A and B are shown apart, each in its own frame.
Chain A
């Protein structure tokens, strides 16, 4: 059989069911009844012991949401979501009030162990060697916040962070303990009225992480949150808020997985980043939600709003993402370059296989003077997937000297998939310099034959070509994630060629 035909056959048989995080944890949970109403919002707020202002904020968002309609402009297709058929809150039932990690349900601890996430405070992630030249001391530590369905189950290294003045805690706790900070910044980057899914999140978000780094502090370790959707028919609506005060620096990692289920599950998160004068935030994501099976059944609907505000002069926000999971991805981590001389970066690897649909990209909004941004997007489509890059770069009238460089590259594996690039560029200022480059290529039979003639197997050949393709983005990831991401890329593409 000619190779092209064989590849097509193989791709047709692709088993996306090789998803390795598809197990389910059997624990008792405390759920809100299905459906969404003011009562649901009140229920969640009460569960979290929230102050009245927070409930009001949620209710306002809920009322706003009722007047909105679901966006349809993205290049994704999915059956209508029944918002009344979802549980908006699920929490593992605590046996009693927890005072330390040791009291967490062992089943949940086991779950995180299976996922390879250390909830116990270990200095170095197992199996990862420190990069050459790095200090093997405190900066090798990673503080973890683990969110299980709707609640945060553990946050590690609290004491050490506290000593540095860094606040890293579940947002539900921050609302109670640091209301002044939350009030000041929550919704200041992604307003409650922003878009359908963000507004929904504002009404029903249940947990997520909160980070505040005080002026002049370089956060002593990487901060990390792992999100896990476990419950059936449950949506996950987490909310993350990170504030880097003047002259501070923080690097934050986010990882996501979910069990394998036949039905689709909704994930609508909101992430807000605020960088004040001279502050820098580096936000990295390895998203590996369940992508659905080979027939396109099940998988996570990932509708996420992520935005960073470079509010201060000389501030910098950098997004790096490796997207391999989800049935549908609708996600555009963006930067508002408000401060003069501020800088935004977006580095992305989006891989789609099987029946996955990805519509992802970024927005760089240049408002301040001499602002600069850089976008490097690598889309890889295999199987019957559709992979779209959608980007917006604008320069405001006052944004003199704005500069952007965009490079969007797409790689196709097989001939049943599609890659699309939709860049929007608007310069209202004649001094703006915007560059855009885009390429689409295919792993051709010729490249595969060349590699196999040199002794590589087909899978090794694809892995090598893909890793070469994504190299400049992988280099942006913190080391631990880079290793994980590289593995994930090869797993995601297993069986994508004949």
Chain B
């Protein structure tokens, strides 16, 4: 059984159809890159998989390990192992990153019928994870993303990804707003989390991210559909020739 199957997905936002029948199959251990011009529906796809309100699915299916993901609330999907690394992570003043992560991890564990981690247990775990990713401890004491630089926000996303150990990670435009050094650090974090049990869906506009995170498959989206799929070389091809050739195909 595939880990994630998107079948002929049609999605509307306020009466306008954004996805016109999208199909994507992701197996454990695979890294898929989804590329496409602005407005092709890449972010919509990531939002619908994670369950962001405001989208109407008019047709098609999303299965996660064979279960109907569309029937689940966003927090249920998270507990099942669906993780979305946000393009623009939000700020939550007055709530320390430490407290946020502890509360969230325990909420997921509770949903899975696992025991709750006490503060010392959690602290030990989060410190180990932060250390393995070279993330300074100081970040844990600050308000969630409050006053974080673009790079710090993305690293906080990767820290959470490492902490929650999801089965599928969707990285939405992770490279936006990052300079080349920050991009490399973030990509290193992602690469460290690649594993045979975990799949990744990397959404990006530019090819440059894929120099650091090497995908197994590349899909080109245009006007709400996947118009071409291939290996990692497809990304390089795109870099040379641009998206224009696919506009007509869609």
Contact = CB atoms under 8 A, between A and B. Distances in A.
A470 B54 CA distance: 29
Contact of B107 (A4, A447, A460, A472): A460
Counting chain B CB atoms within 10 Å of each CB, the highest count among A2, A451, A470 belongs to: A451
Interface in A411-467: 444-447, 449-458, 460, 464-465, 467
Nearest to B146: A468
Interface residues of B, number: 33
B78 A445 contact: no
Given A2-B53, A6-B53, A468-B95, A452 B90 contact: no
Interface stretch (B1-9, B97-105, B240-248): B97-105
B93 interface: yes
Given A460-B103, A468-B143, A453 B95 contact: no
Nearest to A456: B107
In this complex, the interface size class of chain A, counting residues with CB under 8 Å from chain B, is 20 to 34
Contacts of A3: 53-54
Contacts of A185: none
Interface string A461-492: 00011011111100000000000000000000
Interface string A53-97: 000000000000000000000000000000000000000000000
Contacts of B74: 449, 452-453
Contact of B94 (A4, A447, A449, A472): A472
A4 B105 CA distance: 27
Nearest to B91: A447
B109 to A, nearest CB: 9
Given A467-B94, A467-B95, A451 B104 contact: yes
Interface in B35-66: 50-54
A454 B73 CA distance: 12
Contacts of A445: 53-54
Contacts of A4: 53-54
B86 A457 contact: no
B53 A453 contact: no
A455 B78 contact: yes
Given A447-B92, A464-B100, A468-B94, A454 B164 contact: yes
Interface string A6-34: 10000000000000000000000000000
Contacts of A457: 73, 75, 107
A468 B75 CA distance: 20
B79 interface: yes
Contacts, number: 85
Contacts of A2: 14, 53-54
Contacts of A470: 94
Contacts of A465: 92, 95
A398 B89 CA distance: 51
Interface string B109-140: 00100000000000000000000000000000
Contact of B75 (A6, A444, A452, A467): A452
Nearest to A409: B93
A450 B144 CA distance: 11
B118 to A, nearest CB: 15
B164 A455 contact: yes
Nearest to B74: A452
Contacts of A444: 90
A472 B103 CA distance: 20
Contact of B53 (A449, A454, A456, A472): A449
A95 B77 CA distance: 62
A450 B95 contact: no
Contact of A454 (B14, B99, B104): B104
B58 to A, nearest CB: 14
Contact of A456 (B75, B84, B86, B93): B75
Given A457-B107, A471-B94, A450 B53 contact: no
Given A453-B77, A470-B94, 6 more contacts: A449-B53, A455-B79, A456-B103, A456-B107, A458-B75, A464-B100
10 contacts: A2-B14, A449-B53, A453-B77, A453-B86, A454-B107, A455-B78, A455-B111, A456-B107, A458-B75, A465-B95
